[in-house]
């Protein structure tokens, strides 16, 4: 059945508002950023042909050891988030899925970390983790583990992992919600039937829960990767990227280029490279998820 011109125009009208806003507020600035990445520019001076350096910014970023270290470090945090954070979220969701009291109470409590502003989270955790006066260390001592006391945020061996843990703490609320929703829609009858057939808890988990949770899990994974790779405010307020370069991530590097060295063009090039990396990762995830669903 051929679609009439009038029909097609009507259909376009549905996406028109979104398209207009998107084109103006995303596409145009994006083109700008894309063009700036070919310039050696400080963001202030008038631009003329002498600013054009073509791909120099890109080659410099690709060979910048610190840049790739920051990408790897963000990847490290993301790995921890994918495993620890999502495992925690899933466990909590599973625990709340059972018929226990105070389920709604927990649902609200677990969503408080995402709601809190980064300022509060940074301040409070810095205070808790402080090497000299933080309560974490004083608890460890009073519990009898003085040798576990560390300078959590300043010790190069622990800083990155500590930050990853704080990030997971702030983020698991969303995963918890999504997993809980997923679990709650698995029909109870399936579990009943399995029990009647003599399956134990582990078997019903493996045969019923896991397959039905795959789509939700994929959704959570994709969102986790996208969100965690772009981590910035938490790192900036808690360690500033230090000690040394141990907790630098791509966004803090871009920020440093823009602000510290006034290398606006270079910052844009870094941003574009970062975007391409994210696209590749998301694409791989998407393909993987299609296979898993099948």
Partner 1 sequence: MRSLKWITLLLSVVCIFCSAGCASKQSAETAATVTVWHWMTDREPAFQELAKRYEAKAGIKVDFQLYAPSDAYSQKVRAAAQGNTLPDIFGILGEKRDFSSFIKAGFILDLTPYMEENSGSWKNNFFAKALAVNEFADGNSYGVKAGFYGVPIDIMTIQMLYNKNLFKKLGLNPNKPPETFQEFLDIGKKLKEAKMQGLVSGWGEVWMIDCLANNYAFNIMGEKKVIATIRGEVPYTDPDWIKVLSLFKDMQESGVLANGLVTMINKTAEQLFANEKAVFAFNGSWCVNVYKGMNPTLEYGAMLPPAASSNYPMAIWGGAGSSFMVNARSDRKEEAVKFLKWLTDRDQQAYLSEITNNLPANKNSLNKIPDILAQFAKGMESATHPNLWGVSEYSVVIETLDKGIQSIIIGEKTPEQVAAEAQKMKEREMAKKRR
Partner 2 sequence: MKSVLYYKTKKTSLNIIIHLFLLTVAVTCVFPLLWMISSSFKTQETIFKDMSLIPQSFHFENYYQAWVEGGFAKYFLNSVFYTVAVVLGIIVISSLAAYAFSRLQFPGKNFIFYIFMAAMMIPIQGSFVPLYVLLNALHLRNTRLGYILAMINVGLSTSIFLLKTFFDKMPKELEDAARIDGCSKLGIWWNVALPLAKPVLAVVVVYNALNVWNEFMLALLIFDSRPLMPLQVGLMSFQGEFVTKYPLLMAGLTTAALPIIFVYLLMQKYIVKGVTAGAVVG
Q: Which residues are near partner 1 by CB under 8 A?
A: 40, 42-46, 50, 126, 130-133, 151, 153-156, 159, 238-240, 242-245, 256, 259-262
Nearer to partner 2, 62 or 276 (CB): 276
Taking the CA of residue 210 as centre, how many other CA atoms within 13 Å lie in the half-sphere pointing to its CB?
8
The one of partner 1, partner 2, none whose footprint includes residue 216, by CB under 5 to 8 A per kind, is partner 2
Q: Is 66 in the site for partner 2 (CB under 8 A)?
A: no
- The interface partner of residue 26, options being partner 2, partner 1, none and the CB cut-off 5 to 8 Å by kind, is partner 2
Calculate ∠ Cα 118-124-130, nearest 5°.
125
Among positions 126-145, residues that touch partner 2 (CB under 8 A) are 127, 135
Task: Identify the residue whose tokens are 């376009």.
Answer: 12
Euclidean distance between CA atoms 184 and 86, whole angstroms: 17
Distances (CA, A) of 285 to 79, 148, 219: 13, 38, 10
The entry of partner 2, partner 1, none near residue 12 (CB within 5 to 8 angstroms by kind) is: partner 2
Subset of residues 70 to 99 that bind partner 2, contact rule: CB under 8 A:
88, 91-92, 95-96, 98
| Cβ proximity to partner 1, 56 vs 285, nearer residue | 56
The one among 71, 80, 151, 182 contacting partner 2 by CB under 8 A:
182
Task: Report how far residue 204's alpha carbon sits from residue 214's, in angstroms, rounded to the nearest whole number.
Answer: 15
Contact 118, 233 (CB under 8 A): yes
């Amino acid at each position: 059945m051929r679609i009439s011109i009038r029909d097609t125009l009507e259909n376009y009208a549905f996406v028109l508002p979104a398209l207009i806003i998107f084109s103006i507020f995303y596409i145009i600035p994006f083109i700008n950023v894309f063009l700036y990445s070919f310039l050696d520019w400080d963001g202030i001076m008038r631009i003329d042909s002498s600013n054009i350096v073509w791909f120099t910014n890109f080659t410099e970023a690709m060979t910048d050891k610190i840049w790739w270290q920051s990408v790897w470090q963000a990847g490290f945090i993301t790995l921890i988030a994918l495993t620890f954070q999502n495992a925690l979220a899933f466990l909590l969701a599973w625990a709340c899925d059972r018929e226990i009291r105070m389920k709604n109470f927990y649902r609200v409590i677990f969503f408080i970390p995402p709601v809190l502003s980064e300022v509060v989270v940074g301040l409070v955790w810095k205070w808790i983790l402080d090497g000299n006066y933080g309560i974490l260390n004083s608890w460890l001592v009073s519990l009898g583990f003085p040798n576990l006391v560390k300078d959590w945020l300043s010790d190069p061996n622990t800083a990155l992992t500590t930050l990853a843990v704080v990030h997971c703490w702030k983020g698991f609320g969303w995963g918890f919600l999504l997993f809980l929703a997923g679990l709650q829609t698995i029909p109870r009858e399936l579990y009943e039937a399995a029990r009647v057939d003599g399956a134990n808890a582990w078997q019903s988990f493996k045969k019923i829960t896991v397959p039905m949770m795959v789509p939700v899990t994929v959704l959570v994974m994709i969102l986790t990767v996208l969100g965690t790779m772009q981590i910035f405010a938490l790192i900036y307020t808690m360690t500033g990227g230090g000690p040394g370069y141990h907790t630098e991530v791509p966004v803090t590097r871009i920020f440093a280029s823009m602000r510290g060295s006034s290398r606006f063009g270079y910052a844009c090039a870094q941003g574009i490279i970062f975007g391409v990396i994210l696209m590749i990762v998301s694409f791989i995830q998407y393909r993987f998820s299609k296979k898993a669903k099948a």
